[in-house]
Amino acid sequence: MVDAAPHPAEPVVRLAGMDKWYGSYHALRGIDLIVMRGECVVLWGPSGSGKTTLLRCIGGLEPVQSGTMEVAGMRKVVGPLVRPRPTAGVGMVFQRSALFLNMRVIDNLTIGLRHVRGMNKHAAEKLAMQHLVKVRIGELAMRYPAQLSGGQQQRAEIARSLCMDPQVLLFDEPTAALDPELKQEVGTTIAALVQDGRTVIVATHEPALIRELKPRMVLMADGAITGETTPAQFFG
């Protein structure tokens, strides 16, 4: 018997009273946030407001000292002695490329499939090519990262995350280091993922990306969520 598909309104991220400290610095303060499956959420706030830290906590790259976290169907352990551990079911794309420079694009995408998922080389490459085509760089599979533009590298990063079929995709300032034309390339790619029903959380300073994604906007300042708005209200 095949399980029924999850209801589209199911929460995929649920944070309650979440606090994060760096020594005596209170980086995140009482974070309460629910993100529904298939939703696009943008974290908006000045530098130092906690956007990147929040993404890293959701992705398991930073430990959380208190509160509750449920991400991709799993309850995350929190506490003062917890060590960072990547969150299963979450993919993250950083501001700058983290591709392995000594490996072709196709090999960057298949290394996780082969060594984590246990897929054979042929099956891994077939899946990787499907995602490279989806982000419109299938013809670049055999190139090395240094032979790609910044926008192409970001799209390769997105394809690599998609290969692991994450329930949640996190983007930390994905267009900040790109020129205007490449910003639009990456923004269009992320918007297509949203249209496909992917759950996407983006930290960004880019008004153009907000207009492209039409997200729910979560406003942050001083490590806390201060409110929510819509793009129409924000730009109005």
End-to-end CA distance of the chain: 50
Residue 200 CB partners (closer than 8 Å, separation 6+):
39, 40, 41, 168, 169, 171, 190, 193, 194, 213, 215
Q: Quote the pLDDT of residue 2.
A: 43
Q: Would the pTM of this model clear 0.75, i.e. be above it? A: yes
Q: Taking a C-beta distance cutoff of 8 angstroms, is the pair 30, 18 a contact?
A: yes
One-letter amino acid for residue 193 of the chain: L
Q: Taking a C-beta distance cutoff of 8 angstroms, is the pair 85, 76 a contact?
A: no
Q: Taking a C-beta distance cutoff of 8 angstroms, is the pair 153, 109 a contact?
A: no
Per-residue pLDDT of the chain (236 residues; tens, 9 = 90+): 444 444 457 999 999 999 999 999 999 999 999 999 999 999 999 999 999 999 999 999 999 999 999 999 999 999 988 999 999 999 999 988 889 999 999 999 999 999 988 999 999 999 999 999 999 999 999 999 999 999 999 999 999 999 999 999 999 999 988 888 889 899 999 999 999 999 999 999 899 999 999 999 999 999 999 999 999 999 98
Q: Quote the pLDDT of residue 1.
A: 41
